[in-house]
Amino acid sequence: METLAAALTRTRATIEASLDAMLTPPGEPSALDHALRHAVMGGGKRVRPSLTLLCAEACGGETGPESDALRAAVAIELLHCYTLVHDDLPAMDNDTERRGQPSVWAKFGEDLAILVGDRLQAMAFGELSECRRAAALLGPLVAAATLVVDGQVADLATAKRPPETWDADTLYGIYAFKTAALIRAACQLGAIAADAPTPIQQALADYGREVGLAFQLVDDLLDADQAVEGGEGLNALRVLGAEEVRRRAEAHTAAALAALDALPDGAPILRAFAQSLLTRLT
Amino acid sequence: METLAAALTRTRATIEASLDAMLTPPGEPSALDHALRHAVMGGGKRVRPSLTLLCAEACGGETGPESDALRAAVAIELLHCYTLVHDDLPAMDNDTERRGQPSVWAKFGEDLAILVGDRLQAMAFGELSECRRAAALLGPLVAAATLVVDGQVADLATAKRPPETWDADTLYGIYAFKTAALIRAACQLGAIAADAPTPIQQALADYGREVGLAFQLVDDLLDADQAVEGGEGLNALRVLGAEEVRRRAEAHTAAALAALDALPDGAPILRAFAQSLLTRLT
């Protein structure tokens, strides 16, 4: 059987090839083409779209070129990239770098960065318009696109409030929207693209949500290990303490694994993926 | 028979009511709710979504509550509003006012204005996700969402080039994308929502494109009449001269009217609408 590492390498390569083809214009690239490429081809791990493909495969679905699953995976990644481009803007997080490269606005200007984000969101929905199951896939992508914005709004509002008012509800309100909603949609779209029955679609949506929460909590724990004195902004450690964050990360992972029981063979690769999140802590 | 003025008043009221309901949250409005409402309910003429409804009616389609035509009309207006919110940003046109009110960023901050635009685009696609003909409607909305960004990119690039390099191609490249693409989509979506046969969909798309170009050229002529020494940025007058702009506005109107010949009864209201654009000049 294929290992998790091999599966992630394979799905990542498929997605990179698809994104690369889509962002290679037929003629001389324009400034917008360069900026779109910079925004998308910056070397992400492609975890979200890989989950779309792995969920589709777990349901016995087709994930080859021009499949609904691959198009949905690309849509999820384009949506994710657009949020990163806009989050980096000076009026938002004011980040001049991302993954060791200048952020889109730092390299191409704020005006073009705003438009690149706008265009990537349109392109995400454009991928769905090419799908055989476009109507069924549209709702979950809309929900994710709406909730990531709501999460970012909540994040900005929280940052303006005194840290002593931050509590577990504040944290989950943001994490559930900003991170978990997109990962939930990634998994759900994979199931829909594979034409899975509704209970399986629901189980994989639940799996995605729990994996998303575990992923974010583990990220906070790893950040704290690396930072000299912990993060300055909102993070789980600051609100809940390390022990409670670890306990919750384990609980969300367990919930993710439980959701997989609905699948006929228990979806070993998806099971291994959920477990790998906690392994990062060891 | 209903007059054009009565038809526009009626369709505008329908659209306002739909937008108002959608932007009235069940509980206490959040800052985001206030900002979304400010962005959308600022008193536009609702020309684009009215055209969606009038085109659907011209094809004998349903335009009542929960109809695909009304949802598509609302989607077009949400898309239009998002582009205005982002165009006004300091990094773009840096406009502090719109229709006599503070622009969204001037009132709610740049960060929230970026997010409001992002959310309105997601909401536009969300309207389609509720449609019976979602899959058929999605493509044209994606095309419009993509082209309006390309038009804005071309506009920004042109503004940075010396005015003596501006020519008719530059102008049409921007007008066709920024203005005509959205009006074209508005008309085309009305036809699709009404389940019109493909040749009629195409005829109304052509009508929308020509009306969009005439609309923009007439706007430039009116602006010049009002301005003391003409516009500073790119506009048709500066590139083509008043006489040629008027000639082209008439030619695009004639092309719009010719497209309507494909409709069984010649679509008298749509015909009157196209003609009304030139009447603004008299």
In this predicted structure, the answer to whether residue A5 has a pLDDT above a threshold of 50 is yes
Any CB–CB contact under 8 A between B138 and chain A? yes
Any CB–CB contact under 8 A between B121 and chain A? yes
pLDDT score, position B59: 98
Q: What is the C-alpha separation between B127 and A28, in angstroms, rounded?
A: 36
pLDDT score, position A232: 65
Q: pLDDT tens, A65-98?
A: 999 999 999 999 999 999 999 999 999 999 999 9
**Shortest CA distance from B135: residue in chain A:** A135
Any CB–CB contact under 8 A between A22 and chain B? no
Mean pLDDT of A110-137: 98
- Using an 8 Å CB-CB cutoff, list chain B residues near A109: 91
Q: What is the mean pLDDT of chain A?
A: 94
Q: How far is CA A125 from CA A36, B14, B89, B132, B209, in A?
A: 16, 27, 24, 17, 23
Give the nearest partner residue to B122 out of A31, A32, A146, using CB atoms: A146
pLDDT level of residue A108 (50, 70, 90 thresholds): very high
**Shortest CA distance from A136: residue in chain B:** B129
Query: What are the structure tokens assigned to A172, written together?
Result: 């989950």
Query: What are the structure tokens assigned to A138, written together?
Result: 């549209």
B88 burial type by CB count under 10 A (0-12 exposed, 13-18 middle, 19+ buried): buried
pLDDT level of residue B227 (50, 70, 90 thresholds): low
Any CB–CB contact under 8 A between B112 and chain A? yes
pLDDT score, position B123: 98
In this predicted structure, the answer to whether residue A231 has a pLDDT above a threshold of 90 is no
CB A270 within 8 Å of CB A253: no
Q: What is the mean pLDDT of chain B?
A: 94
pLDDT level of residue A225 (50, 70, 90 thresholds): low
Q: pLDDT tens, A44-54?
A: 899 999 999 99
Neighbours of A70 (CB within 10 A): 25
Query: Which residues are CB-neighbours of A201 under 8 A, at least 6 positions away?
Result: A188, A191, A192
What's phi and psi for A102, nearest 5 deg? -60, 140
In this predicted structure, the answer to whether residue B133 has a pLDDT above a threshold of 90 is yes
Q: ipTM score here?
A: 0.96
pLDDT score, position A235: 84
pLDDT score, position B229: 42
Single-letter amino acid code for the residue at A270: L
Q: What is the C-alpha separation between B206 and A236, in angstroms, rounded?
A: 55
Q: pLDDT tens, B21-73?
A: 999 999 999 999 999 999 999 788 999 999 999 999 999 999 999 999 999 99
In this predicted structure, the answer to whether residue A238 has a pLDDT above a threshold of 80 is yes
Query: What are the structure tokens assigned to B198, written together?
Result: 């493909």
CB A69 within 8 Å of CB A61: yes
Any CB–CB contact under 8 A between A28 and chain B? no
Q: Mind telling me how many Å the CA of B156 is from chain A's nearest CA?
A: 8
pLDDT score, position A226: 59
In this predicted structure, the answer to whether residue A43 has a pLDDT above a threshold of 90 is no
In this predicted structure, the answer to whether residue A136 has a pLDDT above a threshold of 90 is yes
Any CB–CB contact under 8 A between A111 and chain B? yes
3-state secondary structure A6-68: HHHHHHHHHHHHHHHHHCCCCCCCCHHHHHHHHHHCCCCCCHHHHHHHHHHHHCCCCCCCCCH
Q: What is the C-alpha separation between B278 and B215, in angstroms, rounded?
A: 9
Lowest mean pLDDT among A204-218, B134-148, B149-163: B149-163
User: How many beta-carbon pairs below 8 A join chains A and B?
Assistant: 107
pLDDT level of residue B225 (50, 70, 90 thresholds): low
pLDDT level of residue A227 (50, 70, 90 thresholds): low
CB B212 within 8 Å of CB B178: no
Mean pLDDT of A7-34: 97
Give the nearest partner residue to B89 out of A112, A114, A157, using CB atoms: A114
The residue written with tokens 């960060």 in the block is B111
pTM listed for this prediction: 0.96
Q: How far is CA A238 from CA A145, A178, A180, A216, in A?
A: 28, 18, 20, 14
pLDDT score, position B280: 83
- Nearest Cα neighbor of B253 from B209, B221, B205 is B209
pLDDT score, position A229: 43
Q: What's A101's DSSP letter?
A: E
The alpha-carbon radius of gyration of chain B (Å, integer) is 18
Contact A156 B112 (CB under 8 A): yes
Q: What is the C-alpha separation between A195 and A63, in angstroms, rounded?
A: 12
The vertex-B17 CA angle with B12 and B23, nearest 5°, equals 125
Which secondary structure element, helix H or strand E, spans residue B98, and what is its range? Answer: strand B97-98
- What percent of chain A shows pLDDT beyond 90? 84
Q: pLDDT tens, A163-207?
A: 889 999 989 989 988 899 999 999 999 999 999 999 999 999 999
pLDDT level of residue A33 (50, 70, 90 thresholds): very high
In this predicted structure, the answer to whether residue B182 has a pLDDT above a threshold of 50 is yes
Give the nearest partner residue to A86 out of B114, B142, B150, using CB atoms: B114
